[in-house]
Amino acid sequence: MDNIPNKRFFKIGEVSRIVGVPTHVLRYWEREFSLVRPRRAPSKQRIYKRKDVEMLLHIKKLLHQEKYTIAGARKKLQPASATSSPHQTLKEIKQELIDLRRMLD
């Protein structure tokens, strides 16, 4: 997180450069991940806090480096208390493995 300038608020263009993805990707991730919620300035421009930028960098790492799907990354970012029962988790893992196998075939 060293590449984040020492500022409290960031505009979407700045965040795009820091994270290394286009602005439309940031807007898409906002819809998919509830942990990223930038405020709106009176001019209706998105204003991101430092924690939002850090979360977006973490999301990018999960998606691009660790090769998670959007759904997988969303589950990984859920707080531990929000996770389902171990039985349900195993079912979901099994289904993801089946889906991955189909993609590879």
Domain of 29, CATH number, reads 1.10.1660.10
Q: Is the pTM of this model over 0.75?
A: no
* Res. 85: pLDDT tops 80: no
Q: Which residue has the tokens 């991940």?
A: 33
For the chain, what is the domain count?
A: 1
Does residue 74 fall inside a structural domain?
yes
For the segment 88-105, the average pLDDT, to the nearest whole number, is 83
Does residue 85 fall inside a structural domain?
yes
Q: Which strands form 46-49's sheet, in the order they lie side by side? A: 9-11, 46-49, 39-40
Query: pLDDT of 38-79, one tens digit each?
Result: 999 899 999 999 999 999 999 999 999 999 999 999 989 887
Q: Give the type of residue at 34.
A: S
Does residue 3 fall inside a structural domain?
no
Does residue 2 fall inside a structural domain?
no
DSSP for 25-81 reads: HHHHHHHH-TT---EE-TTS-EEEEHHHHHHHHHHHIIIIIS---HHHHHHHHS-GG
Does residue 40 fall inside a structural domain?
yes
8-state DSSP, 20: T
CB 30 within 8 A of CB 37: yes
**pLDDT band at residue 23 under the 50/70/90 scheme:** very high
Share of the chain above pLDDT 90, in %: 57
* Res. 22: pLDDT tops 90: yes
Q: Which residue has the tokens 């991101």?
A: 48
Question: In 3D, which of 63, 81, 80, 64 has the Cα closest to residue 72?
Answer: 63
Provide the residue range defining the domain that includes 76.
9-104
**pLDDT band at residue 24 under the 50/70/90 scheme:** very high
Does residue 4 fall inside a structural domain?
no
pLDDT at 80: 56
